[in-house]
Amino acid sequence: MITNPTPQRSLRGHQPQRPSHRTAISSGYVAQLATRLTERDRWLARMLYEHRVLTTHQIVEMAWPSVRAANLRLLRLYRWRLIDRFQPFVTYGTAPMHYVLDVAGASMLAREDGLELRDLNYRHDRATGIAYSLHLAHTVGTNGFFSALITRSRHPDTTGQLTAWWSETRCARHFGDIVRPDAYGLWHEHSPTPCAFEWFLEFDFGTERPDRLGRKLAGYAKLAATTGITTPVLVWVPTARREAPVRRALTAASANLDDPALVPVATSSADFLDGQDNDPVAARWQPLDVRQPSTRRLRLAELTRAWPYLSPLGNPSNDPAQASGTVASDLLPLSPLPPGPSDRRPQR
């Protein structure tokens, strides 16, 4: 019989002290915070504003050399209220920590761009509310697709680089009246033949009927006819078994278009290549061609050869946002690659 039980408060985990909401958005606190942040910290804040939520694994593979180094820095940024975090429940095992932008980070971004915090259309409860959203897994999956591309871009032996990554929210602001892709990407291959390839991503989690996915092609055809720009659509599905009915639905929908060439489509499944299931650059993409069906899988950069009628893209330094313009309450799209290591040691 326990005669002297441990007090309940002693069983609680240590909770880091954090400034209040009012303090975190004050000019004095943001000015003080500016002396502590590195370029990588600012880059992470903009990535979280653009893409809503990133897991620890995604942040590590994009910008940190190790999990330990990332966790130490992320804990400090959490204490400063630059970022916030939550851990979803999973039936088996433990989910990774998920990070979102906090009020001090949003206030810092607004001041850097000469805006007021209200101009960003940011609310803390809305940022953390994604923890309860039915679209959380879909958003994390889409972001994982592009974090793998960033990892490949940073590899010393890579021959290409991801130069643009637009979120679903940004795509909706520019094209939402016609079509709502899950993301937009731009990849530049440097060798052996320099080329550029852009695409819209449809990230399928197996929860949508294949025929409904096929009906989206009509919207992409309308967008291409309206803008005069033909942009391929890449469809990522979870399994090869799922890919077969999706391709049949896409083939039927493409055949019903007035001009199928307006919507080039390629598909791939996450389990297509064993050991490379998180490598979108590999030879895993199968173009959809009603006239000349082919079973050959192509690398991401090779897809430009599958549709030779596509207009060549401009110089890699050109920002696609310049052509589309920006809208009110919108930060400029940032480079998806993190800044290089800084000589200045961050303050604690």
pLDDT tens column, 57-115: 999 999 999 999 999 999 999 999 999 999 998 888 899 999 999 999 999 999 999 99
Asked if the model's pLDDT at residue 182 lies above 90, the reply is yes
Q: How far apart are CA 102 and CA 242, in angstroms?
A: 38
Asked if the model's pLDDT at residue 2 lies above 50, the reply is yes
DSSP states along 117-168: GGGGT--HHHHHGGGG-TTHHHHHHHHHHHHHHHHHHHSTT-SEEEEEEE-H
Assigned token pair, 204? 């399928």
**Of 125-129, 165-169, 191-195, 252-256, where does mean pLDDT reach its minimum?**
191-195
Q: How far apart are CA 31 and CA 37, in angstroms?
A: 11
What is the β-pairing status of strands 98-101 and 83-86? antiparallel
**Of 143-152, 231-240, 270-279, 280-289, where does mean pLDDT reach its minimum?**
270-279
Give me the chain's average pLDDT, please: 87
Asked if the model's pLDDT at residue 343 lies above 60, the reply is no
**Of 56-70, 146-160, 224-238, where does mean pLDDT reach its minimum?**
146-160
Q: Which residues of 67-90 are buried (b: 16+ CB within 10 A; e: fewer)?
A: eeebeebbebbbebbbbbbeebee
Residue-range domains of the chain with CATH: 18-132 (1.10.10.10), 136-324 (no CATH)
Q: How far apart are CA 36 and CA 34, in angstroms?
A: 5
